[in-house]
Amino acid sequence: MIWFALQKLLGLVATLLVAAAITFIALDLLPGDTARFILGINATPESVEALREQLGLNAPALERFFTWLRGMFVGDFGMSYTQREPVAGLIAGRLGVTLPLTFFAMILSAGIGLPIGILAARKRGSAVDTGLMTLSQLGVAVPNFWFGMLLVLLFAVTLRWLPPGGFVPWGDNVFGALGSLILPSFALALPQAAILARVMRTALVDVQSSDYIRTARAKGLTMSEAVWRHGVRNAMLPVLTILGLQFAYLVAGTVIVENVFYLPGLGRLIFDAISARDLILVRSSVMILIVAVIGTMFLTELAYGWVDPRLRARRDE
Amino acid sequence: MTSPFDSIKSWFKHPSLRIGAIASLVFLLIGFVSVLWTPYPIETVSISNAMQDPSLAHWLGTDHLGRDMVSLVMKGTLTSFVVATIAVAIGAVIGIPLGLAAASWGGAGEWAILRVNDFLFAFPALIIAILITTLFGPSAINAMIAVGIFNIPVFARVARGGALSLKTLDYVAAARLSGMGPIEIARRHILPNIASLIIVQATIQLALGILAEASLSYVGLGTQPPATSLGLMLKDAQTYALLKPSLALIPGITIILIVIALNLAGDGLRDQLDPKLRRLGGARGVA
Amino acid sequence: MALKTAVAAFALALSLAGVAAAAARTDLKLGLALEPTGLDPTIDAAASIDDVVYQNIYEGLTRIDQNGAVQPALATSWDVTDDGLTYTFHLAEGVTFHDSTSFDAEDVIFTYGRITAADSINPQKAFFAGIDSVTAPDAKTVVIKLKAADGLFLFNVGRGAAVIVAPESEPTNVTNPVGTGPFKFVRWQKGATLSVEQFAGYWGTKPALTSVTYTFIKDAAARVNALRTGAIDGINNTDASTLPIFTNDPNFKVLVGTTEGETLLVQNNAREPFSNLKVRQAIAHAIDRKEIIAGASSGYGTPIGSHFPPHNPDYIDLTGTYPYDLDAAKKLLAEAGYPDGFTATLKLPPVPYALLGGQIIASQLAKVGIKLNLVNLTDFAQWIGEVYTNHDFDLTIVSHIEPNDIGIYANPNYYFGYNDPDFQAILKTLNETTDPAARKELLIAAQKRLAEQAVNGYLYELPQIGVWNAKLEGMWQNQPIGGVVLTGIHWME
């Protein structure tokens, strides 16, 4: 087990180093002069040059890359070019919105999707099954920014039950903060719930016809008991895979929902930073996202290896 | 081995597949027709005709620039399909060989490919799109590349999974022993048998591609005017949503119908190929 | 007995609460489309900074009022020598900064020293290049000597990047702004909101509002929803396309005013075929301003015939110089050597007036055989790089929002490459003239020259479209300079 984990860790570090290099190069290629953008079109060329010096933009690429890497190891992600504040603080602030939003969305999607999938599987072939699966088809097909807009129009503008957007800081009012995240979480959760429902159903249906279920029934358990006691646990493996992928998608893919609900999330930070050519903010934020996602995948694989010893022997999936 | 194409006739007995495939083809046809003809050209702007209700002259009304909605939907469907299809092609053409290579090489080569895969999965798709468009300018083509890049690890994963399961089969081992090179083996034995897996995944990625194009257009990075796509129509309509909901409903419902059609077709295909998929371990690994 | 007293007390409390509620509100929830990157306008040109801080948190020696005129601010009066070279500013008394340090001439010297320093990164440094020296004979007086007379000097002194800052607080102004203005900074939730409150020690007339919270909402549709639910009380400048929702709603008032933004179809005069006057005249004849305003701005915006804002007293209407006439356009194109028209690219920054305007203009010019390829740029940084710095463009659409910027046409190296000695002569004289009547003559001559030469396609003046709660008064209808001034805003009751 230890050897397995160490192997994986080595792979993780290698991936991250390559990721950092590619990220740095890709962003450095972006055309556009940060200093000129900050100072505007009226600024004198001398001012622009003075700012470039101040921000350290004239240093050679290799030097900037290693300074950045070294800084990241001690938690210093540099100073934002446009906001003149430590990048680490800016990102931390946004994580206070993006992380809770991601978790709520995942809890919602699992809480809605999994029961629906289980129900559909148990009533396989019936009208209930068809109905639920049709709904899930709809859920996957609706663009989430459109759904978000519709939620706002219904629950905020018409019913006035919830705010149309914005974020009340956790420190100000915990309930206000939670309230700000309800509609966005639903907007994000819907297509994910639909996917989870279908995956759960497929996995359970597979499981229902498997050997160990037949054995359980032969021993006298009803289908429901057999499925519940043995089946669901085994069906969870593919579901876990999907949940892991969902986390990756949600953490990085919230820009659009953040726009619709004007939330101060990580996605918008990156988007705005790219427009402002604040390269140091962009590359550090992107690295944090990559670390989060690869880290999650790493942990998932570890969990797999722990759960199913056979997988440790086989090559990684 | 029975070729997948022998089974096509039996496929159409499946209701999901039938509905999904026919609906998808209808939309595809609408898109193709727009290459040759639309009721009105979409480049002509005519402010005096803006936001008209459906009439005999304009069956679905006009948009905020006075352009005919029917023509916009036709051209928009075409653009959305083209973007999604090319993105799938990019993903498949690069991803499948990568996945097959990983399965056949093993060792360090496979390890490297898997790391690249992980990186492509982890790098936020939207950020890739933003970077590409910032480097090369926003356009439908750059949207195709961005979505295509995200498709590569998906197809690589599917191809590798399928190839791994086949590797242990007798006839593959026999082919290796007889001295057949890996490319020959891939072409003759592996590809035909994972074709069904790939096709199913392709329909799913097509549907996702259409949604991705809509998202990219919403933030202004996808298709650019005067061209149009369903996503761009939806974006333009958002600000007018309270004044004229139909501007948003029409492209929105079209997107929903196309995506459902493609997903139904994909589901149906998967159900039909179920026994094969089981053997290839596909039901578990494919999202 | 106790119950009765309790009920009576409760009723009294309720009625008092009722009375308190009936008094006018003094807080304001303002929406802004763009969030500033920092709060120091002397090191960053972003207009979003001025929207928050100009005349609210910081003040300059002079200020620009809602009609674009120069008014006293931290300098309550001034004397100018006849040769226009020496300005003596008399400073206000009893002024303190928000951190309780006092304001005097030293702060003015510090501020202008920063602006004019060799390594200064002030975005508007160029406006103060003519300053020869800044001295303080005493704590209440500042003398500024210029190298040459400058008719716009007092205006420039009132600009956003010339606000007075203190050496004690300057290093942290970007996140904790300290100025002399009527509002002091409270806190900034990056990405979400920013709050300011009335400064108790303000030296001038206290504003009616006691606290203001800015909410940053980039998405146009989200702004509409925020207004309708009351999450924000108003927004000073929003999309014209959403107005019909508010114009008939008695809960809202729509304020349409003008700005200093001349929206232009910019032509690269240094490139064929736009270097040819006849081609430029042809394009002028082919442009239908009314249709552009209707489609790109929902009908809001005044057509312009030259590079000058219609609200300015020195403006003359030159929209008739090249009236809409497709035949005249085709004739001119043929005379210029393009009987079948030509092809060109139109680069568009990602703003609604450009994206929509571009489509409309492409459609209009196609009627005379000019085929335009629309190139949408990803963001303004790209526009600044390609179009502004590298001059790599044929046509572009942009709005020049700087006040008093007709002088850009006198710079042959400016991005659209217009090199006209006649015009440069007019501007040289104008810059040295301070007499208003003489300036007016020269400005009229300048406008006429630019109109006749059809340097750019002069489309319309960008409107300021504000949507406000109907009970609010005192907002500036026009925007003569960047900023959203809070001092006059109050609730009616």
pLDDT in tens, C290-327: 999 998 998 999 999 999 999 888 999 999 999 999 99
Number of independent structural domains in chain A: 1
pLDDT of C273 strictly over 80: yes
**pLDDT at residue B8 in the model:** 60
Give C231's contacts in chain A (Cβ within 8 Å): 163-166
Residue A250: C-alpha distances to residues A245, A254, A258, C452 (Å): 9, 6, 11, 57
Query: Under a CB-based contact definition with an 8 Å cutoff, are residues C74 and C135 in contact?
Result: no
Token reading at A304:
């797999």
Establish if A56 belongs to a structural domain.
no
Q: What is the mean pLDDT of chain C?
A: 91
- Evaluate if residue C13 carries a pLDDT over 60: no
Report how far residue C118's alpha carbon sits from residue C401's, in angstroms, rounded to the nearest whole number: 27
Contact A248 B119 (CB under 8 A): no
What would the pLDDT profile of C414-455 be if each residue is shown by its tens digit?
999 999 999 999 999 998 888 889 999 999 999 999 999 999
pLDDT value at C20 more than 60: no
* ipTM higher than the 0.90 cut: no
Beta pairing partners, C343: C371
Q: How confident is the model at residue A313 (pLDDT cuts 50, 70, 90)?
A: very low
Residues 12-41 of C with CB under 8 A from A: 35, 37-38
DSSP class of A315 = P
How far is it, in rounded angstroms, from Cα A196 to Cα A208? 18
C285-318 burial, b if ≥16 CB within 10 A, otherwise e?
bbbbbebbbbbbbbebbbbbbbbbbbbbeebeeb
Q: Would you place residue A314 in the very low, low, confident or very high pLDDT band (cuts 50, 70, 90)?
A: very low
Least confident of C88-92, C242-246, C252-256: C242-246
The answer to whether C380 faces chain A, any CB pair under 8 Å, is yes
What pLDDT, on the 0 to 100 scale, is given for residue A316?
Answer: 42
The answer to whether B100 touches B160, Cβ cutoff 8 Å, is yes
CB-based contact A41 C231, cutoff 8 Å: no
Q: Which residues of chain B have pLDDT under 70?
A: 1-13, 168, 274-287
Per-residue pLDDT at B186: 72
- Each residue of A116-172: pLDDT tens digit? 988 888 887 788 888 888 888 888 888 888 888 889 989 998 899 999 999 988 888
Which pLDDT value is given to residue B283? 38
Whether A247 has a pLDDT exceeding 60, the answer reads yes
User: How many B-C residue pairs are in contact by the CB < 8 A criterion?
Assistant: 65
Instruction: Please report, rounded to a whole number, the percentage of residues in chain A having pLDDT higher than 90.
Output: 16
Can you give the pLDDT at residue B13?
67
Question: Which of A207-221, B141-155, C75-89, C384-398 has the least mean pLDDT?
Answer: A207-221
Instruction: Count CB atoms within 10 A of the CB of residue C40.
Output: 23
Q: pLDDT digit string (tens) for A74-91?
A: 888 888 999 989 999 999
The C-alpha R_g of chain C, in whole angstroms, comes to 25
- B97 exposure class (CB count in 10 Å sphere: 0-12, 13-18, 19+): middle
One-letter amino acid of C440: K
Domain layout of chain B by residue ranges = 16-27+61-286
C359 vs B239: CB contact, 8 Å cut-off? Answer: no
Q: Which class would CATH give B16-27+61-286? A: mainly alpha
pLDDT at C17: 46
Tokens of B48: 């005096």
Residue A17 inside a domain? The answer is: no
Give a yes or no: residue A145 inside a domain.
Answer: yes
- Asked if the peptide bond before residue B226 counts as cis, ω within 30 degrees of 0, the response is yes
Å from A101 to nearest chain C CA?
Answer: 15
Distance CA B39, CA C49 (A): 48
Q: Whole domain around residue A266: which residue ranges?
A: 94-270
Asked whether residue A25 is assigned to any structural domain, the reply reads: no
Please determine, for residue A174, whether its predicted confidence score (pLDDT) is greater than 70. Answer: yes
| Mean pLDDT for all residues in chain B | 80
| pLDDT, position C5 | 56
For residue C474, which amino acid is it?
Answer: G
User: Given CB atoms, is A271 within the 8 Å cutoff of chain B?
Assistant: yes
CATH number of residue A139's parent domain: 1.10.3720.10
- Strands C302-303 and C457-469, by their bridges, are antiparallel
Strands (DSSP E) contained in B22-123 are none
**Tens digit of pLDDT for each residue in A8-65?**
788 778 888 888 888 888 888 877 788 888 888 888 888 999 999 888 888 888 888 9
* Across C142-154, average pLDDT: 92
CB contact under 8 A, B64 and C241: yes
Give domain status of residue A244, yes or no.
yes
- Among the residue ranges A263-267, B234-238, C209-213, C440-444, the one predicted with the least confidence is B234-238
Q: Which of C221, C374, C382 sits opposite B225 (nearest CB)?
A: C374
Q: Which tens digit of pLDDT belongs to each residue from C21-36?
A: 457 899 999 999 999 9
Q: What is the 3-state secondary structure (H, E, C) of B108-154?
A: HHHHHHHHHHHHHHHCCHHHHHHHHHHHHCCCHHHHHHHHHHHHHHH
Is residue A263 a contact partner of residue A104, using CB atoms and an 8 Å limit? no
Query: What is d(CA A277, CA C378) in angstroms, rounded to the nearest whole number?
Result: 12
Which of B19, B111, B119 to mutate against chain A (most A CBs within 10 Å)? B119
Specify the pTM.
Answer: 0.87
